[in-house]
Structure 1
């Protein structure tokens, strides 16, 4: 199976799991807080950590497109963000890791506000 097909298949599985997790969280915990998003971000980051080590230990890098980019990428891109931040930190690039985290959060929220503003101005 080509890497692109692995990513596409995994993305469908991950996105479906994210959707179902959101529904379950809303039913179990209520809709007043984004529990589903919090749960998938934490679970996805945990699973990314497990997969990085497992794939290295068992020479399973050929499954990375399906499992990491596809399933976890469809489940939550926060897991990829978390891995990138920790990788920078573990390389000793602590300042760069902090800049990446702060920049990602601040710029992403800022971009969301900009998108809202643009879309509202057009309607």
Structure 2
């Protein structure tokens, strides 16, 4: 059953990642990987929220592993960092790494705090 929940979450997260990336790139244009940045930060927020609540193994598998695992993308992030660096945009490459790490960890912390605050209501 857990495998099916992970697959179901991934079946929603992966297309949402693609659609979000395309929508963000259509708005801001190419040149900087804002789409990947957006999904990684959003996924970190959701995962922080899930981690802050007592959840069943099923919810954790569905949302935490399946949905967030498919929504966020470390491999694309790594590829884009290398692409920027190879394109002689080394400053942007480093800025992308730093901004992604700070924003993603910050979003996870915000999700955790929100989750716990809601739990206390």
Q: Normalization by structure 1: what TM-score? A: 0.57
Provide the aligned length of Structure 1 versus Structure 2: 79
Residues 58-108 of structure 1, C-alpha deviations (whole Å, 9 max, x = no match)? x43321111111000000155xxxxxxxxxxxxxxxxxxxxxxxxxx9xx6
Q: Is 1:4 aligned to residue 6 of structure 2? A: no
Q: What SS does the aligned partner of 1:32 have?
A: coil
Structure showing greater radius of gyration is 1
Q: Give deviations 1:30-58, integer Å, cap 9, x for gaps.
A: 1111111000111111111011112x1xx
Question: Are 1:22 and 2:18 matched, yes or no?
Answer: no
Distance in 2 separating the partners of 1:72 and 1:13: 10
Structure 2: runs of 5 or more not aligned: 84-121
Query: Counterpart of 2:36?
Result: 37
Q: Which residue of 2 aligns with 1:13?
A: 12
* Runs of 4 or more above 2 Å deviation: 59-62
Unaligned runs of 5+ in 1: 79-104, 114-123
Among 38, 58, 62, the alignment partner of 1:62 is 58
Larger relative contact order (Cα-Cα within 8 Å, sequence gap ≥ 6): 2
Report the RMSD for the aligned CA atoms in angstroms.
2.3
